[in-house]
């Protein structure tokens, strides 16, 4: 939202962003529920989740557009959200598994749009300086990814194995003891690698920033101490120069006064040596 837009629209958009983030997260269970091999109940649940996502995006964007003074510019600035709105509508109405290759490409692309939308929403929230928050987010990501592998991968027999596979995928280790075998688990692993690797990178970058920040603070304190010392030396030099100037001025004044006294003495001595002028009488 343009910050110079209607104040009501700006205030409403601050809250609607979090609502759109929550509706974006519905795409993750909807996508994998529809991939679950089983009764049509799972496919219906996926359609319901996509329908809720479509309704949430439509209501949020319609309300923000109604409040905005420049609705066309607002929609252009939020074209990701418009694309997700259209993608969720297509996911409700289009196809049931097994999907054709074209539908696989379109659905994975749609999930990529949703993942990008989530990252953009949280990029300011997960700053590198929030180490504890990043640890908690990483732990939550591993826990949810472990549950996803336990649900989607037949070779994962326990939740602990699912968490281990999630950690292997996030750290891009690839020991080979457990590997995704089904299309659903492989697609899930791709997103886990992208999100998990990014989260781990933020955690380690935050830890490195702490040590670098400590060294920078020490160097900054030393620099300020040196600057204060130099400032004191400059003040002392200025005082010495001013004292020298005053001394020189006093010496010059006294020398001038002495020269004036000498000139007066010379004039008196000359006057005493001259004879008196003869009287006119």
Q: How confident is the model at residue 96 (pLDDT cuts 50, 70, 90)?
A: low
- Residue written as token pair 């799972």: 42
In a domain, 79, yes or no: yes
Count of beta carbons in the 10 Å neighbourhood of residue 205:
13
In a domain, 215, yes or no: no
CA dihedral 230, 236, 239, 243 (to 10 degrees): -140
In a domain, 185, yes or no: no
Mean pLDDT of the chain: 79
In a domain, 30, yes or no: yes
Q: Which residue has the higher pLDDT, 176 or 214?
A: 176
Contact present, 149 and 185 (Cβ < 8 Å): yes
In a domain, 112, yes or no: yes
Q: Can you tell me the mean pLDDT for 121-146?
A: 72
In a domain, 236, yes or no: no
pLDDT tens track for 185-229? 888 888 888 777 777 777 777 777 777 766 677 777 788 888 888
Q: What is the total count of domains within the chain?
A: 1
- Among 77-86, 101-110, 122-131, 240-249, the least confident range: 122-131
The fraction of the chain above a pLDDT of 70, given in percent, is: 83
Which contacts of 136-142 are long-range, i.e. CB under 8 A and separated by 24 or more positions? Answer: 137/199, 138/196, 138/199, 138/200, 138/203, 141/166, 141/170, 141/192, 141/195, 141/196, 141/199, 142/166, 142/167, 142/170, 142/196
Here the tokens at position 118 are: 């989530």
Contact present, 109 and 187 (Cβ < 8 Å): no
- Give the pLDDT confidence score for residue 281 in this predicted structure: 47
Here the tokens at position 58 are: 């439509």
- Give the pLDDT confidence score for residue 56 in this predicted structure: 92
Q: Which domain holds residue 56?
A: 1-125
In a domain, 20, yes or no: yes
Here the tokens at position 200 are: 């781990």
- Give the pLDDT confidence score for residue 218 in this predicted structure: 74
Peptide bond into 98 cis (omega under 30): yes
In a domain, 199, yes or no: no
Contact present, 34 and 121 (Cβ < 8 Å): no
What does the alpha-carbon distance between residue 233 and residue 102 come to, in Å, rounded to a whole number? 76
pLDDT tens track for 18-75? 888 888 888 888 887 777 655 677 778 888 889 999 999 999 999 999 888 888 888 8
Here the tokens at position 96 are: 């049931």
274 CB burial (10 A radius; 0-12, 13-18, 19+): exposed
- Total residue length of the chain: 281
- Residue written as token pair 């209501």: 59
Count of beta carbons in the 10 Å neighbourhood of residue 46:
24
């Amino acid at each position: 939202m343009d910050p110079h837009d209607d104040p009501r629209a700006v205030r409403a958009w601050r809250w609607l962003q979090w609502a759109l983030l929550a509706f974006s997260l519905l795409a993750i269970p909807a996508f994998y529920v529809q991939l679950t091999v089983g009764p049509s109940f799972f496919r219906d649940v996926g359609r319901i989740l996509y329908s809720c996502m479509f309704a949430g995006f439509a209501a949020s964007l319609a309300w923000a557009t109604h409040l905005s003074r420049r609705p066309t510019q607002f929609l252009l600035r939020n074209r990701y959200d418009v694309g997700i709105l259209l993608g969720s509508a297509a996911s409700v109405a289009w196809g049931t598994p097994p999907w054709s290759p074209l539908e696989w490409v379109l659905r994975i692309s749609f999930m990529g749009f949703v993942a990008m939308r989530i990252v953009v929403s949280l990029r300011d929230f997960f700053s590198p300086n929030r180490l504890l928050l990043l640890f908690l987010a990483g732990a939550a990501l591993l826990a949810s990814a472990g549950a996803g592998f336990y649900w989607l991968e037949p070779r994962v027999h326990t939740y602990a194995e699912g968490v281990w596979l999630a950690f292997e995928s996030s750290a891009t280790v690839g020991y080979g003891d457990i590997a995704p075998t089904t299309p659903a688990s492989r697609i899930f692993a791709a997103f886990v690698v992208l999100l998990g690797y990014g989260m781990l990178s933020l955690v380690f970058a935050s830890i490195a920033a702490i040590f670098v920040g400590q060294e920078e603070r020490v160097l900054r304190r030393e620099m300020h101490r040196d600057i204060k010392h130099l400032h004191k030396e400059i003040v002392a030099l200025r005082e010495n120069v001013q004292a020298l100037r005053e001394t020189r001025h006093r010496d010059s004044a006294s020398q001038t006064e002495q020269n004036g006294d000498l000139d007066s003495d010379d004039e008196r001595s000359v006057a005493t040596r001259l004879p008196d002028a003869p009287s006119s009488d």
